[in-house]
Amino acid sequence: MAEMVVEASMALALGAKLCRPKVVSMYPITPQTHIVERLADFISNGELDAEMIHAESEHSAMAAMIGAAATGVRTYTATCSQGFALMFELLPIMAGNRLPGVMSVANRALSAPINIWNDHSDAVSARDQGWIQIYCESTQEAIDTTIQLYKVSEDHNVLLPAMVCIDGFTLSHVCERAIVPEQGEVDEFLPAFKPFVTLDPDKPVSIGPISFPNTYMEFKKQQHDAIMGALPIIQKVHDEYAKKFGRAYGNGLIEEYRMKDAERAIIGMGTLCGTGRIAVDELRAKGEKVGMIKLRSLRPFPVKELQKIAKNLKGLSVIDRHVSMGFEGPLCTDVRSALYGSGIEVNGFIAGLGGRDITVDRLQKALLSTKTHKQGEWLL
């Protein structure tokens, strides 16, 4: 294994390269561009034996990914923000056709007004389209998650595409220390892709035909069962990876920090969790029994795991980097639903939109809000 200081975008490219995709479809958009630029370098200099498709738009990049996956090869792409939104029409098509593959998302705010900085409004807006979504806090986690998600996605009990989400600029353009596995190690962990079904002129099949009202719901039920069934598979693959490479992120779905005797906690996704640890440590030093829950898997949502970790809490403050206009943060809605009837006070906070800093004092304010029974608000 090679230890290096590397930009997170480069790290995602390295992680993807180690998984040996055969088709990389791409269209550049800030702050995702560095990822596919590096992959283009790897293909050009012979380090990666793959076909790079320079699509004319993100919509076309996703269409190419779908077509390639249907022929039975391992695929990869990356995007964010408006480009992600342009792909939206095709996201449920890839998932609905049960085609595996991995996409990196360098999360960036959706316009308008025009903003190139981080929040989760792009990927979270697509949480209902059948893709597995894992949110990463660090460069190392981004590499490791990419490798793991190929194995999850291609499992014949799953067969669904997956997103590796990292905060744009806040992580994508930050250089951190990371350990990059050797190719041989990844080859041992991640076997060659074995498609469940392929488009083959010699053995014709139909993929994505019309479904009438008497069958459509059955297809959707199977798809829902598959993504819910991915919960233990994500955990299993994570644990296998941890045993082989020595790095773990909670149980693969959710990670806790100083939760053993916590009475109040915050829950969030991505890089805000690093700041959250500092906020917790400072309040602990003042005698407050607080902790943090880091959610990795937004979809599938780990309901039982959250209930187990939060069962002794008096209050939980949810930090959303996205707002469902006209209601509240989507993560808050999920958490409230998961903990319904538990008696735990759940407060929702909107923070970090458009790259706004999520500071220690703001997170501490949220942490203590359930102590004063002050309802959630926008952390401006």
Place of tokens 């939104």: 85
Report DSSP letters for 147-163, one per residue. Answer: HHHHHHHH-TTT--EEE
129: nearest Cα among 62, 51, 227, 233: 227
CATH number of 255-372: 3.40.50.920
DSSP letter at 89 equals: G
Q: What is the pLDDT along the chain (380 residues), one digit of tens a residue?
A: 799 999 999 999 999 999 999 999 999 999 999 999 999 999 999 999 999 999 999 999 999 999 999 999 999 999 999 999 999 999 999 999 999 999 999 999 999 999 999 999 999 999 999 999 999 999 999 999 999 999 999 999 999 999 999 999 999 999 999 999 999 999 999 999 999 999 999 999 989 899 999 999 999 999 999 999 999 999 999 999 999 999 999 999 999 999 999 999 999 999 999 999 999 999 999 999 999 999 999 999 999 999 999 999 999 999 999 999 999 999 999 999 999 999 999 999 999 999 999 999 999 999 999 888 777 789 87
Report DSSP letters for 335-363, one per residue. Answer: HHHHTTTS--EEEEEE--GGG----HHHH
Per-residue exposure over 158-194, b if at least 16 CB sit within 10 Å of its own CB, e if not: bbbbbbbbbbbbbbbebeeebbbbeeeebeebbeebe
75: nearest Cα among 83, 65, 64: 65
Do 2-245 and 255-372 have matching folds?
A: yes
pLDDT at 371: 86
Report DSSP letters for 190-233, one per residue. Answer: SPPP--SS---TTS---SS----TTTHHHHHHHHHHHHHHHHHH
Enter the pTM of the model. Answer: 0.97
Any idea where the domains of the chain sit in the sequence?
2-245, 255-372
Containing H/E element for 4?
Answer: strand 2-7
DSSP-derived 3-state class of residue 138: coil
Give dist(CA 157, CA 98) in Å, integer. Answer: 10
CATH number of 2-245: 3.40.50.970
